[in-house]
A and B are shown apart, each in its own frame.
Chain A
Amino acid sequence: MTMRRIFRLLIVLIVLIAPPLQAAERYVVRPVITVDRDTKNISEPKERADAFLYEFLDSSIYQQLKQAVNVPRTVKKATGDFRAINVNVMDEVPDSSWYTNRILAGHLTAEEVGRGQNVHPRPAFDGEITVTRGKASGISPGFTVKDGKGVTWFLKFDPPENPEMASAAEVIASRIVWAAGYNVPELWIASFRPNQLKIDPKAELNINGKPRKMTREFLDAILQLAARRTDGTYRVIASRLLPGKLKGGFGFYGMRDDDPNDLIPHQHRRDLRGLRVICAWVNHDDIKSSNTVSTYIEEDGRRFLRHYLWDFGSALGSGTLRPNVHRAGHAYILDYEMMGKALVTLGISQPSWSENPVPVAHPSVGRFASSTFEPEEWKPTFHTYAFENMMDSDAYWATRIVAAFTDEHVRAAVRAGELSDAEAETYIVRALIQRRDKIKQRWFTRLTALQDFSVGPVRDGGQEIRFRDLALEHGLTAADRPYTYQFFTTNGRRHNLTPALSVEPRGVIIASREMLATAADRLRSARSDDDRVIHLEVRAGSAKPARAYFVFEGTERGLRLVGLEHRDSS
């Protein structure tokens, strides 16, 4: 290719990139949506089969190839023009069939976090328990039972070498994920004696895909694979059957063709992008499509899909059947960056987590630490498209969720794991708190962490604009670090109403009388609210700015808050 042709290509590229970079977009005033009504009545979708082998190949090879040639995506991400779609004007995620604002809305006590998603009574395992189905595929056994009250539960066990590890991890992580706002099944720690088990005459056992009639011999063989307490009882995770019909995993890319409510590509949902931070916090590295499920339910006369996360047995230090491998949380199972470095250096460059592996802290904790945790570097086992699309604004939103968990909330969640060893419980609490603090440090300082803007009445000196600085509240920044801020309007081009000003962080910015007068003059021919929008851009140090949007209602009434955004570009 000659130099002239290369030059022409570069010109085309610049011409294509330049407009998005330079445009000062006009702000459109919209109502604040707090509920995304994606629960319209739909006809019953088909059940999707989940194959983690296929998902591995698809996400690790095919999707990576597509991303490599997707030039617009790469440029948009680099320039910060890659916002999630399901974000309202206040930079929040509305409630939907995917997500519910819980701890972020400030409504949860520690006790509620500890109880979590469980709304029904715990399993009635005092008397006879009827086994209705067994599973012995691969090496992770379990079975489905009906308790004394006829309620159906799915039981999973701990591995014999690590009692309590997987069950505690599953409950603790599910409490946290539920409190964070996601839908999860009801999970209880329960126990029973083998002699309580009775086999339903129609019960079958699935062994490597083949159904066999369940017998006492099979039941005993399954129990042989599980951890047993010294008193002869078995500790289990009891998962209550989800309401509705299971329709398979929802995936982190694309949309379901047979769900007319599913109109937002999953890789552009903030609740799924930001889930990366939640998963990093609890080290749920086994997040993948087959650990999600959509159920077809009926509510208020409408039938629709509700979307759940499940199977947290690989969270915290647990790898379900054994402690987490060293790689967990540090690298993908097919990690091109790590592989490339090792290949180019002929093996001399090896990841630090392999050279200095985290030891198993405790048999019921597994491999879980805060010392090696880097929030931004955390990776799940599989490439997850939505996670790879996560922008700083998505991470900031998720960090607010994480930061909303006080130490008491964390203790309550960990207590739900019913660990018998107080030392193990203390270890997990400490590690979670330290990991939480690292997450806050990362994203409350990467962006200007201002929230809860409000405006006061116009007085002689001007109008007060109040806000909370989360970085300051959480002790992540010096109390005397100033903000720089500027008011401006846009109409295709940016018109500054004030110079860039600096103010000390008292949580107040003043919209001065002079600024209001300038705005009145500039906006006198405005015909609608969209034409009267004033932007306030605030930057804390070198962090990415926050922008608040106000409608100017005259020099006497001043500004009315209509929007907030945390920018992904500087």
Chain B
Amino acid sequence: MLPYNACLAVLLLSSTAWAQAPPGHVIPHRIINDEKATRDKRDGAFERFVGIPLFPLKLIGGGMERGLVAVERRGWHKSAAGLQLPEGPLRPKQGFTPLFGGFDMGARFAVGVKYWRNFGDGLRLEIPSRMSTNLYKLGGVNFIVRPNSPMQVEFGAQYLARPEDDFYGTGPTSNLFSRTNYDLRERSAYLRPTWRLSRSVLLRGLARFSSTSIFDGKDQDFADADATFPTLPGMSGGRMFTTGGIFEHDTRETTGMPAGGGLEHIAVSRQEGLGEANFGYWKYRVELMRFLPLASKRRVLALRFFGESNQPVAGKTVPFFDMPILGGPFNLRGFREFRYYDQTAALATAEYRFKINGWMAPFLFVDEGQVARWPGDLTWSNFRTAYGGGVRLFTDNAALFTVSLGHSREGTRLYFLFQPRF
């Protein structure tokens, strides 16, 4: 009844537009009848009627116009798109950059700000801080020595709060109905030397001290992780010292929507518990990406393999909070975030992306992943499958945002991801 009446109303009211006298009744001094035109300008006829359902958008638009004028004057849109004035006197020496989007698994939409300041060419200070709608927080102080040089050193400190991370237990057969949650707080200090050997090759070292505390999760709908899994390594938190290195070979032609090349990222690190924490393990991480154009740079098959294994040394353990996790917008879409934990994880993704304009590309994907205690425990039968599709927004220099809908045997989930890595 309502759609029918609505259609009838639109048609009948729109007849007033047709009933208007044809334009251009001329009087000698003007191409147009001033009196009638002034009246029309004031009254607006069907244009106003058509605008009624869209009026809220127009109201928002009024505010948006002022806001966007301000954004444009300050060049924030160009900064967001990765376009900046080149280094030099024209680039401001300090400023604030707004930060948007989730920053970690579990964090919903986050906003924040980063203060930055350049001390000549040799030192840069950054103080980012962000908070999400579900109170995940990330803040820190970061110094970069020789930021524009191929060899640079970063050092700083960081605070991370993740108040309601989920935990279902470890292993590929962890029970969906054993959902618990925990509150993780981590304080860390780090030193990261980086050596860019060439445009595509990068070496990075890492020395990091971290102190992790685990508390009862803030989500009251689910049990606390330490109550359900009290003996799990890391459930009491702990302090660790990490040393390691990263090799990265990046031949992607662009980072926004690459249509060729790939990325190889290999990281090896050694974690050692401090004090009472009985942690001691090697972490091996591999991430491989390859982008294959399909008869056109506007159609791309994007392939990704991610593997991580944590190998405890004799008598030591791997804390659960530093295990690889599958499930969520970063990997194995279609499953809940934090769905699978274990010492070892493997994930393969195939994604077909096609551009529909210069900054938007829908995609279809299949994710296959599993976790296990040891690499030898990985089996074909334990792979979990998720598939779906979504849309990616990008510029030439940056992937901005993806929204994806993933389906698995455990249901269908919608994900929003800012600045996706893959």
Chain A: residues with CB nearer than 8 A to chain B?
1, 5, 8-9, 12-13, 16, 19-20, 25, 28, 30-31, 33, 36-38, 49-54, 57-58, 62, 65-66, 69-72, 76, 83, 85-89, 94, 96, 136-139, 141, 207-210, 215, 217-218, 220-222, 224-225, 255, 260, 263-264, 268, 325, 327, 331, 333-335, 338-339, 342-343, 346-348, 350, 354-355
Contact = CB atoms under 8 A, between A and B. Distances in A.
B50 A333 contact: no
B92 interface: yes
A78 to B, nearest CB: 13
B240 to A, nearest CB: 42
A221 to B, nearest CB: 4
16 contacts: A16-B18, A33-B26, A38-B30, A50-B69, A51-B68, A54-B65, A69-B50, A70-B50, A83-B22, A139-B78, A255-B41, A263-B32, A264-B31, A347-B298, A347-B356, A350-B354
Nearest to A290: B72
A86 B31 CA distance: 6
Nearest to A12: B11
Contacts of B61: 54, 57-58, 62
B421 interface: no
Contacts of A66: 50-51, 54
Contacts of B18: 16, 19-20, 72, 76
B23 A62 contact: no
Interface stretch (B2-10, B110-118, B171-179, B208-216): B2-10
A217 B11 contact: no
A71 B14 contact: yes
Contact of A12 (B8, B78, B354): B8
A138 B30 contact: no
A136 B298 contact: no
Interface residues of B, number: 70
A51 B86 contact: no
A68 to B, nearest CB: 10
Interface string B37-78: 110110000110011011001100100111011111111011
A94 B29 CA distance: 12
B362 interface: yes
B85 interface: yes
Contacts of A36: 30-32
Contact of B7 (A9, A30, A338, A354): A9
A72 B29 contact: no
Nearest to B87: A221
Nearest to A94: B31
B358 interface: yes
Given A51-B65, A54-B61, A86 B358 contact: no
A57 B25 CA distance: 35
B24 A85 contact: yes
A13 B11 contact: yes
B362 A138 contact: no
Interface of B: 3-4, 7-8, 10-12, 14-15, 17-18, 22-26, 28-32, 34, 37-38, 40-41, 46-47, 50-51, 53-54, 57-58, 61, 64-66, 68-75, 77-78, 83-86, 88-90, 92, 296, 298-299, 352-360, 362, 364
B357 A339 contact: yes
A471 B34 CA distance: 37
A554 to B, nearest CB: 26
A33 B24 CA distance: 11
Contact of A263 (B34, B356, B360): B34
A88 B298 contact: no
A88 B26 CA distance: 9
B83, B89, B298, B355 — which one has the most chain A CB atoms within 10 A of its CB? Answer: B89
Contacts of A268: 23
Given A31-B28, A85-B32, A72 B46 contact: yes
B4 A5 contact: yes
A334 B357 contact: yes
B34 A30 contact: no
Given A12-B11, A137-B73, A263-B41, 4 more contacts: A208-B73, A225-B90, A343-B362, A354-B296
A88 B31 contact: yes
Contacts of B58: 62
Most B-side CB within 10 Å, residue of A19, A88, A137, A138: A138
A25 B54 contact: no
B90 A62 contact: no
A141 B75 CA distance: 13
Contact of A355 (B15, B296, B362): B296
A85 B14 CA distance: 20
A54 B68 contact: yes
A18 B271 CA distance: 81
B90 A72 contact: no
Nearest to A357: B297
A57 B32 contact: no
B296 A333 contact: no
Q: 6 closest Cβ contacts across the A-B interface?
A: A347-B354, A209-B73, A263-B37, A208-B75, A72-B17, A339-B356
Contacts of B57: 62, 65
Contacts of A218: 89-90
A333 B359 CA distance: 9
A83 B88 CA distance: 54
Contacts of B84: 139
Contacts of B51: 66
A9 B32 contact: no
Contacts of B359: 333
B69 A139 contact: no
Nearest to A268: B23
Contacts of A16: 11, 14-15, 18
B73 A335 contact: no
Nearest to B57: A62
B89 to A, nearest CB: 4
Contacts of B66: 49
A72 to B, nearest CB: 4
A86 B41 CA distance: 15
A30 B357 contact: no
